Amino acid sequence: MKRSFKFSWCLMIGLIGLANQGMAQDVKVAAKLDHTSIPLGDQTNLRLSVHLPTKADVVFPVLGDTISAKVQIVQAGKTDTLADPQNPAFRTISQSYVLTSFEAGLHMVPAFTFKSGGQSFSTNALPLEITAVKIDTTKSIYDIKEPLAVSYSWMDWLRDHWPWVLIPLIVVAALIALWYYLSKRRQQKPVVEAPKPIIPAHVQALDKLKALKDRKLWQQNAVKAYHSELSDIIREYLENRYQVNAMEQTSDEILSGLRHLEISDQSRNSLRQILILADLVKFAKAEPLHTDNEQSMDHAISFITQTKENNPLPENKVQKNNNETA
């Protein structure tokens, strides 16, 4: 009985040992450096990985800021898990660290221990060579170079200050447009001419009679021209004085149209003699005496003087009075 119990106990211990040994054979750990030799102060990656069954747990080594007195950890990455494409029952867990060193020489990256299933698994130690920067002592020390001048063209300046350039241009353009508009508007305003002074009808007629007399037409045998101009001066006076269309009327029509006006008989007779003699000379080719020529001038001056308007109003006042009368 005692022998049977001892045998069972030994068999159980053996099976457990075989199971642990099999599991130990399934877990593989590794440590790898991207570069085994780097310049002083440069960096390289340390990659820790473990290959184990999917159902197995593992504890990674806990690293601080350094892995040795002369090798420092700059940065620790996150763990990454990848399934084994050839055997889905296994997986690979990895984690990377950025290492650096500021002391030249050959340094050893120590072995790292993983724990899984109550057992420990260690990686191999790795050599890391830190090479010093070679200094050529044969060359003299140069001064620090001055900062490089950055080219800055006017296009760069315009790109940086375009609002301050655009605003004045807009203001100037607006002022020019305003000036152009005002000048055009000023040019389009009608120019109000000062009213010309109105010369009374009798003054105009007397001036023309004097000019005709000074020309001495009948004395130069231009009798027809003399009486024709004299008749026209009288007709123009009648139009301006009494607003009748005397220039287009015959002598009889003129005399008939003036009947209702307040004109003295003497003035009517003077006008009749002027018009009749002028018609005889122009149409009947009469040859009046010198006294007749002079008398026609005297009759014209007398008629105008006796029928002139005593206080002629300016044109605007005459128009105003006519509007009020209407």
**What is the pLDDT averaged over residues 154-169?**
82
The domain limits of the chain are 27-131, 157-186, 201-310
173-187: per-residue pLDDT in tens?
A: 999 998 888 888 877
- Give the residue from 252, 251, 269, 250 showing the smallest Cα distance to 307: 269
Residue 68 and residue 99 in contact, taking contact as beta carbons nearer than 8 Å: no
| Confidence at residue 192, expressed as pLDDT on a 0 to 100 scale | 66
- Give the residue from 310, 313, 309, 307 showing the smallest Cα distance to 325: 313
Token reading at 195:
């009213």
Question: Is the CA virtual torsion 199, 204, 210, 214 positive or negative?
Answer: positive
71-121: per-residue pLDDT in tens?
A: 999 999 899 999 989 998 999 999 999 999 999 999 999 999 999 989 999
| Confidence at residue 145, expressed as pLDDT on a 0 to 100 scale | 73
Residue 44 and residue 130 in contact, taking contact as beta carbons nearer than 8 Å: no
Token reading at 255:
């005399």
| pLDDT of 5 above 60 | no
10 Å CB burial of residue 292 (0-12, 13-18, 19+) is middle
Token reading at 321:
């009075």
Enter the CATH code of domain 27-131: 2.60.40.10
pLDDT band at 8 (very low <50, low <70, confident <90, very high): low
Q: What are the DSSP E strand ranges found in the chain?
A: 28-33, 37-39, 43-53, 72-76, 80-83, 90-100, 105-109, 113-116, 119-122, 126-131
| Confidence at residue 316, expressed as pLDDT on a 0 to 100 scale | 47
Q: Determine the Cα–Cα distance for residues 11 and 184; give it in Å rounded to an integer.
A: 121
Token reading at 306:
């006796």
| Confidence at residue 187, expressed as pLDDT on a 0 to 100 scale | 74
